[in-house]
């Protein structure tokens, strides 16, 4: 896109065609499974809908511009965030390779790690805030996977320092950029090889789309990722792709509002005596703040805190009126959940009958666990509503929780 230096201009225009009289500024989704293809298919831009689609091309161009303004980059869009994560891991790892992943990051990566293990890949888990541990784990590794801030605990790590160390050792670095979005953090500018995200969350932001993407400045790194996408058919629908692209124009506004609201709620939570471990990377006193402030331009809408136990957390969630109970984040509507619900035994079972094991089928949202979080841990995804209404909702629900505990 010509002459754009600001994120908001870029978000509104990236990936759209040059203005032409009587043509739409944003062409509609191309709903086609195949394209006319006479003769030799070599070099055909569009042949079959599992390989390429013009609506993907538009969003891929936009994602590349947002993740890497001013420096050429390439992107591939996927059916979901996990489809994008899997394309990087299975596209780039081979039997005998080692991958280092965060022990406290999105659990879907651990589930994939189990599959990778079955194919002869060694998976090392290290906590996001444990820089020494990450450096040590790089020995003989092929890929370092980072997630900062990590979901759900919100610890951070220094992407540039780790990417520099990884490069010296010939290790590829991929960063899950789901929570910050490309307007909140740019891993490629910080030295990462690949930026990977679930577009389902803040990027598309309206809770109506499942999507993922991979972006890189190195076209050769995208090759195996695209090949994996075509092989397994992990492709996004044209309508989803178009919706995400359309919504991208408001990402700067949404992110700004979510970040401001999240900071206001985090501050309010700190003032209250009845919640523990308030975490938000935008809080100056947060353990992850210094690193976050150095590499993020917005801290996003996810706040976490801990109530005394499961009963308190369930009462709190039931008492909320504006904030919904759901398992996602980054959307326009605020939502919260008791994160440990994904790992705990269902109510009532006797020990030893499999209680405590959550199968993928039991967890269709793929939200899977947070085994590392205590029973009263709340992940709060702050939306774009009025801050005063959200704070009042949280205050009222916490007051009701305290009263019903008396």
Residues lying near ligand PLP in the complex (CB under 6 A): 80-82, 85, 106, 108, 147, 151, 176, 178-179, 198, 200, 210, 212, 366
In whole angstroms, the minimum distance from the beta carbon of 75 to ligand PLP comes to 16
Strands lying side by side in the sheet with 98-102: 74-78, 212-216, 194-198, 172-176, 143-147, 98-102, 122-126
Contact (CB, 8 A) for 77 and 60: yes
In whole angstroms, the minimum distance from the beta carbon of 212 to ligand PLP comes to 5
In whole angstroms, the minimum distance from the beta carbon of 10 to ligand PLP comes to 23
Active site residues: 50, 106, 176, 201
Pairing type for strands 377-381 and 335-338 reads antiparallel
Neighbours of 249 (CB within 10 A): 17
56 versus 106: smaller Cβ distance to ligand PLP: 106
151 versus 258: smaller Cβ distance to ligand PLP: 151
In whole angstroms, the minimum distance from the beta carbon of 111 to ligand PLP comes to 11
**What residues contact 367, with CB distance under 8 A and at least 6 apart?**
107, 327, 328, 337, 342
178 versus 343: smaller Cβ distance to ligand PLP: 178
101 versus 172: smaller Cβ distance to ligand PLP: 101
Cα torsion angle, 217, 222, 115, 182, sign: positive
171 versus 197: smaller Cβ distance to ligand PLP: 197
In whole angstroms, the minimum distance from the beta carbon of 147 to ligand PLP comes to 6
DSSP H/E element including 126: strand 122-126
192 versus 397: smaller Cβ distance to ligand PLP: 192
In angstroms, rounded to a whole number, what is the distance separating the alpha carbons of residues 382 and 298?
14
Q: Is 184 exposed, middle or buried (0-12, 13-18, 19+ CB in 10 A)?
A: buried
Of 374, 402, 183, nearest to 296 by C-alpha is 183
176 versus 189: smaller Cβ distance to ligand PLP: 176
176 versus 286: smaller Cβ distance to ligand PLP: 176
In angstroms, rounded to a whole number, what is the distance separating the alpha carbons of residues 384 and 382?
7
Q: How far is CA 113 from CA 60, 85, 190, 354, in A?
A: 27, 11, 25, 22
The residue number with the shortest CB distance to ligand PLP is: 81
Report helix angle 251-271 to 387-405, nearest 10.
40
In whole angstroms, the minimum distance from the beta carbon of 6 to ligand PLP comes to 27
Contact (CB, 8 A) for 104 and 53: no
In whole angstroms, the minimum distance from the beta carbon of 241 to ligand PLP comes to 14
In angstroms, rounded to a whole number, what is the distance separating the alpha carbons of residues 61 and 76?
9
Which DSSP category does 362 fall into? Answer: G
Q: Is 298 exposed, middle or buried (0-12, 13-18, 19+ CB in 10 A)?
A: buried
In whole angstroms, the minimum distance from the beta carbon of 385 to ligand PLP comes to 21
């Amino acid at each position: 896109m010509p002459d754009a230096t600001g994120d908001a201009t870029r978000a509104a225009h990236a990936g759209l065609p040059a203005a032409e009289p009587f043509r739409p500024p944003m062409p509609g989704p191309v709903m086609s499974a195949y394209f006319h293809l006479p003769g030799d298919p070599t070099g055909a831009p569009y042949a079959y809908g599992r390989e390429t689609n013009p609506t993907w091309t538009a969003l891929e161009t936009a994602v590349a511009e947002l993740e890497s303004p001013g420096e050429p980059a390439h992107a591939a869009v996927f059916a979901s965030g996990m489809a994008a994560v899997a394309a990087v891991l299975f596209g780039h790892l081979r039997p005998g390779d080692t991958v280092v992943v965060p022990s406290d990051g999105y659990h879907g990566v651990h589930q994939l790690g189990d599959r990778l293990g079955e194919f002869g890949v060694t998976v090392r888990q290290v906590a996001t805030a444990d820089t020494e541990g990450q450096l040590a784990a790089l020995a003989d590794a092929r890929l370092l996977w980072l997630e900062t801030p990590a979901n759900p605990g919100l610890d951070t790590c220094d992407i540039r320092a780790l990417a520099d160390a990884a490069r010296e050792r010939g290790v590829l670095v991929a960063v899950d950029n789901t929570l910050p979005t490309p307007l909140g953090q740019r891993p490629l500018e910080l030295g990462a090889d690949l930026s990977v995200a679930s577009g389902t969350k803040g990027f598309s932001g309206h809770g109506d789309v499942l999507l993922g993407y991979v972006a890189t400045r190195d076209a050769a790194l995208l090759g195996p990722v695209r090949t994996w996408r075509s092989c397994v058919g992990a492709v996004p629908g044209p309508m989803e792709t178009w919706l995400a692209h359309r919504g991208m124009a408001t990402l700067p506004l949404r992110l700004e509002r979510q970040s401001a609201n999240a900071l206001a709620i985090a501050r309010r939570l700190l003032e209250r005596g009845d919640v523990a471990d308030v975490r938000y990377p935008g809080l100056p006193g947060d353990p992850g703040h210094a690193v976050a402030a150095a590499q993020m331009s917005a801290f996003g809408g996810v706040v976490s805190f801990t109530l005394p136990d499961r009963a308190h957390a369930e009462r709190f969630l039931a008492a909320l009126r504006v904030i919904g109970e759901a398992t996602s984040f980054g959307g326009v509507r605020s939502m919260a959940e008791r994160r440990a619900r994904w790992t705990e035994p269902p109510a009532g079972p006797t020990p030893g009958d499999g209680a405590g094991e959550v199968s993928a089928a039991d967890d269709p949202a793929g939200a899977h666990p947070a085994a590392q979080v205590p029973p009263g841990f709340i992940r709060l995804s702050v939306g774009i509503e009025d801050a005063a209404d959200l704070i009042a909702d949280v205050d009222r629900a916490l007051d009701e929780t305290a009263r019903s505990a008396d």
